[in-house]
Every structure is written in structure tokens, then in C-alpha cells.
């Protein structure tokens, strides 16, 4: 059974701190790993990672994939209260159709 | 504006009633998906459809049904057979390309009492 596990499940930090969110996976037919941010309702896309060792960066957020050890990390530097959200990791698999397998999510709270 | 709409935002039903959640997209995407989100459990796939008039069960299809009569629309019916229907339901769509990104609607929160 395909499985994606995120840690920690919940994290509370102060504004300005740096955080690292983890995502490990065990799936067949791995294609890509995706990170989403869910603030209130609809998850919004952050990154898609397909190749090992290549960092994707967008402002204060960055992410990297390790296909040998089967995990990815999402880093957020100089956190702001607007970064408070649930961060979802998903792995894209193809078994006759494109499917995403989601982790449980990490609830990040940034206190001022 | 292109996007995915879901209605209603909040829905309340009595136990034993079927209820249908709407999902419409104008992104011209071929594939559409329904997920259920419960606290601490991430998103779980209920049903998905790659083309019109075709759909497949996801991981938790029991107690749900769908139809895909039009490319733009993928309604989900929560039947009385679903044991724990109270949840947040998200609809998504995607192109059938090597970009695996799925675009999500705003969700419907269903409460059954």
C-alpha cells in the first residue's frame, strides 16, 4: 500500500524562526513529490520535485528531494505569521491514471 | 476567471439522507478528483475521473457515488450508506500531462447529525 508520512504533525514557533518540515514516502511507480499550503480551504501548490538533490526555491521557501532515502524536506526561513497553515506533502504515482497520495499534513503555527 | 467552484460551502443534513456536492471547473481539465479531509488524516481519495463518462474508485469509495456527464462537472453524492459522512470535501482537477499538479476548489464542509 502506498504511504506518505509527514512529521511533525504540529509545530509552533516564533516569528523569525526557521522551520523544517519532513515528508517520507513508500510508493510504487513514483513520479513526483508535491508540496501544498492549505491556509483556510483550498490547498495551493508550492513545489513539485522530480529529481534528487535539486533544490526548488521560492522566496523564503525551499524544498529538496532525496529519492535514495525516500524523503523530502520543506524549509521556511524568517517565518512570518502569514506562513501559518497546514502544509501537505503528496506523491504522484501513475498506475493507469495519475493519482496523488497525501500525507497527514503538518499544522504550522507562527506566533508573533 | 478560470478555476474550480464547489457549492455549497456548508451543508447540513440529517442522518439517512443522500446529499449531492457540486464541483465545476472551467480550466478545460480532463481529470477530476474528490477527496475527503478529516482532522489529522490529510486528504483521502474518494473517486476520480480521467475522461467524460468514465470514473474509478479511490481509496475510500464506499458510501459515495459520482457521475461525469460533462467535462466541466463532477458531482459527488454522499449516500446514507456512508458511515461517517461528516467531513470537509475537496474537489480537484488536473491536465493529463507530466505536470502532476492538481488544482483545488474551496471545499464543502458537510455535517450530518
Q: What is the pLDDT of residues B4-60, one digit of tens each?
A: 999 999 999 999 899 999 999 999 999 999 999 998 778 999 999 999 999 999 999
Chain A residue numbers with beta carbons less than 8 Å from the beta carbon of B44 are 102
Asked whether the beta carbons of residue A42 and residue B100 sit closer than 8 angstroms, the reply is no
Q: How far is B49 from chain A (nearest CA, A)?
A: 9
Query: Which residue blocks in chain A are alpha helix, DSSP H?
Result: none
C-alpha to C-alpha distance for B46 and B38, rounded to whole angstroms: 13
pLDDT at residue B96, as a whole number: 72
The pLDDT, as a whole number, for residue A77 is 98
Which pLDDT score is estimated for A96? 61
- Is residue B72 pLDDT above 90, yes or no? yes
Across the interface, do A42 and B41 touch by the CB < 8 Å criterion? no
pLDDT attached to residue A69: 94
Alpha carbon distance B30, B7 (integer Å): 20
User: Are the beta carbons of A32 and A50 closer than 8 angstroms?
Assistant: yes
Checking if the pLDDT of B97 tops 70, the result is no
Q: Given A98, A101, A102, which is nearest B31 (Cβ)?
A: A98
> A38-57 burial by CB neighbour count: b if 16+ within 10 A, else e?
beebbbeebbbbbeeeeebe
Amino acid B39: pLDDT: 83
A44 to chain B, minimum CA–CA distance in Å?
7
Q: Which residues, given as ranges, of chain A have pLDDT below 50?
A: none
* Integer Rg of chain B from CA: 13
- How far does CA A79 lie from the centroid of its chain? 16
Rounded to whole angstroms, how far apart are CA atoms A81 and B15? 39
Query: How far is the alpha carbon of B20 from chain A, nearest alpha carbon, in Å?
Result: 19
Q: In this complex, do B100 and A44 lie within 8 Å of one another by their Cβ atoms? A: no
Amino acid at each position: 500500500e502506498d504511504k506518505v508520512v509527514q512529521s511533525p504533525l504540529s509545530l509552533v514557533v516564533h516569528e523569525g524562526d526557521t522551520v523544517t518540515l519532513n515528508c517520507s514516502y513508500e510508493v510504487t511507480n513514483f513520479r513526483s513529490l508535491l508540496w501544498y499550503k492549505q491556509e483556510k480551504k483550498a490547498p495551493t501548490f508550492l513545489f513539485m520535485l522530480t529529481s534528487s538533490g535539486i533544490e526548488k526555491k521560492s522566496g523564503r521557501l525551499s524544498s529538496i528531494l532525496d529519492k535514495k532515502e525516500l524523503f523530502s524536506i520543506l524549509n521556511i526561513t524568517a517565518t512570518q505569521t502569514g506562513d501559518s497553515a497546514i502544509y501537505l506533502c503528496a506523491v504522484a504515482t501513475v498506475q493507469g491514471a495519475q493519482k496523488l497520495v497525501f500525507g497527514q499534513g503538518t499544522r504550522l503555527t507562527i506566533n508573533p | 476567471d478560470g478555476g474550480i467552484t464547489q457549492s455549497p460551502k456548508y451543508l447540513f443534513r440529517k442522518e439517512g439522507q443522500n446529499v449531492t456536492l457540486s464541483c465545476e471547473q472551467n480550466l478545460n481539465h480532463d481529470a477530476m478528483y474528490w477527496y475527503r479531509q478529516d482532522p489529522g488524516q490529510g486528504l483521502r481519495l474518494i473517486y476520480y475521473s480521467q475522461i467524460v463518462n468514465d470514473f474509478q474508485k479511490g481509496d475510500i469509495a464506499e458510501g459515495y457515488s459520482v457521475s461525469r456527464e460533462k467535462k466541466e462537472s463532477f458531482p459527488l453524492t454522499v449516500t446514507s450508506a456512508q458511515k461517517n459522512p461528516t467531513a470537509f470535501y475537496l474537489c480537484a482537477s488536473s491536465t493529463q500531462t507530466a505536470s502532476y499538479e492538481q488544482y483545488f476548489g474551496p471545499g464543502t464542509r458537510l455535517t450530518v447529525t
